[in-house]
Amino acid sequence: MLRKIQILLGVFFVFAFGILYEFSRHPGCLFSCMPIAKKLPTFKGVISQGNSIIFLETTDRLEPSPLVSCSVESAARIYHDRPIVFFMKGLKSNIRWDPKNTSTAFSLLSALKNVFIVPLQMETLLQKTPLLSWYHKVNETQEKNWVHVSSDASRLAIIWKYGGLYMDTDIISIRPIPVKTFIAAQASQVASNGIFSFPHHHSFIWHCMKNFVENYNADIWGHQGPYLMTRVLKTLCNLSNFKAVEDQCCRKIFFLNPQRFYPIPYPLWEKYYEVWDIHLNFSDSYFNDSYALHLWNYMNQQQKAVVAGSNTLAENLYKTYCPITYKKLILDRHRSVCKRE
């Protein structure tokens, strides 16, 4: 009998101690307090802040390539305090994270806390912009460069409406960009539209959208993209050749030196897929003046890829700036292939 009383008293004291502990953690609420679920921010709430990093996929593809994954992951790491918004045309609804999704790249990007993957709906996006009339007239089935032209239009509309930093999905971020309003130069007096940043409703972007429609010619590669940016910039600024690694500034718009994003120019794009010997090819300080690196994926018609253990420049960039992508999409796949063999 005494033994039973001792057991009951022990259970009572444990229960009482538990109650007192919970009360000490949450004074004023004992049994009525329930854990508060964390609310995920909405897409509009995120992008309306005006400091998002924007990526676009204008094909129907839902399986990001390793390079696309690396671009988004590297941005999410470098800009860990800013939302990364990835627009995908193939999506039908907003996605945060779906454990049932079978795409490794899609799942790893969705799981990053500051990455938001949302549908790209051009009809809605182009509302209240000069681009809407063009969109209603154009026959996309007859446009040989529609994927690129629709991307050129979409990026302008997004930055006009919401502001932020746009990046192509073949750009690997390596350090934060210190300015908020800029256009990137890929050569002296030649602008790029692969990366640019403006606050919402900036007049330069409005001029770009108007020029896009008034001078539309999709048959000329880049006419609606880098050449458009260059045309509009030249109407506002007297561009000159760059000196060393200095940037230019006109009307409070920075025109950033080619070294910032294009230290390897497009004729040499294959350097990214060559063995990286810092003594023969590049020194450790070669990219010290760069904020991000453009890998010129459009030039990669041979579909060169990062291979585990190849020690190429691209592989080293993946290891350093997008380690999850490298592990899941490069290293793990390499190991699974080796096991099958």
> Residue 280: phi, psi to the nearest 5?
-100, -40
Global pTM reads 0.84
Q: Are strands 292-294 and 115-119 parallel, antiparallel or unpaired?
A: unpaired
Secondary element (H or E) of residue 250: strand 248-250
What is the CATH T-level fold of the domain 43-260, as seen in this structure? Spore Coat Polysaccharide Biosynthesis Protein SpsA; Chain A (3.90.550)
pLDDT score of 326: 98
What are the tens digits of pLDDT across the range 191-231?
999 999 999 999 999 999 999 999 999 999 999 999 999 99
What are the tens digits of pLDDT across the range 299-325?
999 999 999 999 999 999 999 999 999
What are the tens digits of pLDDT across the range 61-102?
999 999 999 999 999 999 999 999 999 999 986 655 454 555
pLDDT score of 103: 79
Of 179, 169, 36, 58, nearest to 115 by C-alpha is 169
What are the tens digits of pLDDT across the range 28-53?
443 333 333 334 567 778 898 899 99
pLDDT score of 42: 75
Residues 75, 325: contact at Cβ < 8 Å?
Answer: no
Show the tokens assigned to 234: 């030249």
Domain ranges of the chain: 43-260
pLDDT score of 14: 44
pLDDT score of 38: 37
Angle between the N-to-C axes of helices 66-78 and 313-321, in degrees from 0 to 180, rounded to the nearest 10: 40
